[in-house]
Structure 1
Amino acid sequence: MTEKEKMLKGEPYNSRDAELIKMYHKARKLLKAYNMLDSELGQERERILSELFGVKGEGVWIEAPFFCDYGENISIGSHTFVNTNCMFLDNNTITIGENGLIAPYVQIYTAKHPIKASDRIVKNGSQSSYITSAQAVKIGDNVWIGGNSVVFPGVTIGDNVTIGAGSIVTNDIPDNVLAVGNPCRVVREL
């Protein structure tokens, strides 16, 4: 099994594997071009996003700057808007539905590490490496995630959800609710 296959299955993997590093560098080149591009060059923006993402629906708008690890593990549904300075760590899949609103500085993480340092750090002489695994994140249709929110690995956010600004989403959120806080909790149905 390749390191990429391990990564996408949620198993510990070597993030410095040659195939993953190649994907990383490709994404960095595309992100650099995208983030430096004149905002009026719509066709070029579309081309770069289509090359970067695994799936990009019609009418997706990503404000620059935007950051991700690989890009190809990201699927974004039609007419979703991602505001400035968002960071999507797509070590596993990130799926965002249609008509989403992702506010500035939202961070979506799929990568995780063991909590205990002795389980996390592997020493090889003078070198250290880190145990990493990743879990998919799924965000439904018609979801608004407020600014400065963080979505943790393995979380599913249902359809028609509003996540309040500054929330730390550590657990699944069901359909049709307003959820806020740290940790993010449902406060009412919508």
Structure 2
Amino acid sequence: MSIREKMLAREPFELNGDELTSLRLKARLLTEEFNITSVQYNERRVELLKQLFGSTGNSICIEPTFNCDYGYNIHVGESFYANFGCVILDVAEVRIGANCLLAPQVGIYTATHPLEPQERNRGLVLASPISIGDNCWIGGRAVINPGVTLGDNVVVASGSVVTKSFGSNLVIGGSPAKVMKEIVGQS
């Protein structure tokens, strides 16, 4: 099994290796160009994001700076917006539904490391996909951890650390995040 196949299969893998290094470099170059492209050239910015991401809707807006590991593992729906300072570590797949908003400095992290120091010191990495439903709003400085799934119509309070999955029509918050209230009247 190649390193990339191990990465996508959620097996422990080493970040070193020509294939992953090349893919990260490609993402770094695209994000670097995106982050320095003037606001006057929005069409170019959108073009760069569409080259970088695995899939997008027609309407996508990300405020610089934006950073990710690979880009091709990120899939966002129609009318996606991410404010300043967003980081998506897409070692595993990240799927974000339609009409989602990310406030400033949101972190979405699929990557993690082994708990045992010997394995960490060997440079092993693990990853679990993240899925965020439609019509979600992630508050400023919130962190979404590996393996989390959020249903539709979820609001994540600013500064929250989401360590487990939640269903639909909820406001969640805290560290670790817990249900704060239900959003009534949603289907």
TM-score grouping bracket, smaller chain normalisation: over 0.9
Name the residue aligned to 2:163: 170
CA distance in 2 between partners of 1:17 and 1:8 (Å): 15
Instruction: Indicate the residue corresponding to 1:46 in structure 2.
Output: 46
Give distance in 2, aligned partners of 1:104 and 1:138. 19
Write the mapping of 1:1-190 to structure 2, written as runs, cut at 5 A: 1-122=1-122, 130-190=123-183
SS of structure 1 residue aligned to 2:40 = coil
1:52-95, CA deviations, whole angstroms, 9 ceiling, x for partnerless residues? 00001111111111000110110011101101101000000011
- Unaligned runs of 5+ residues in structure 1 are 123-129
3-state SS of paired residue (1:55): coil
Runs of 4+ in 1 over 4 A off after TM superposition: none
The amino acid that maps onto 1:184 is: A
Using the size of structure 1 for normalisation, the TM-score is: 0.94
Displacement, 1:13? 1.1
Cα drift, residue 118 of structure 1: 2.5
SS in 2 for 1:41: helix
Aligned Cα root-mean-square deviation (Å) = 0.8
TM-score (ref. length: structure 2):
0.96
**Fraction of identical pairs, as percent:** 41
1:102 and 1:24 map into 2 onto residues whose CA distance is: 23
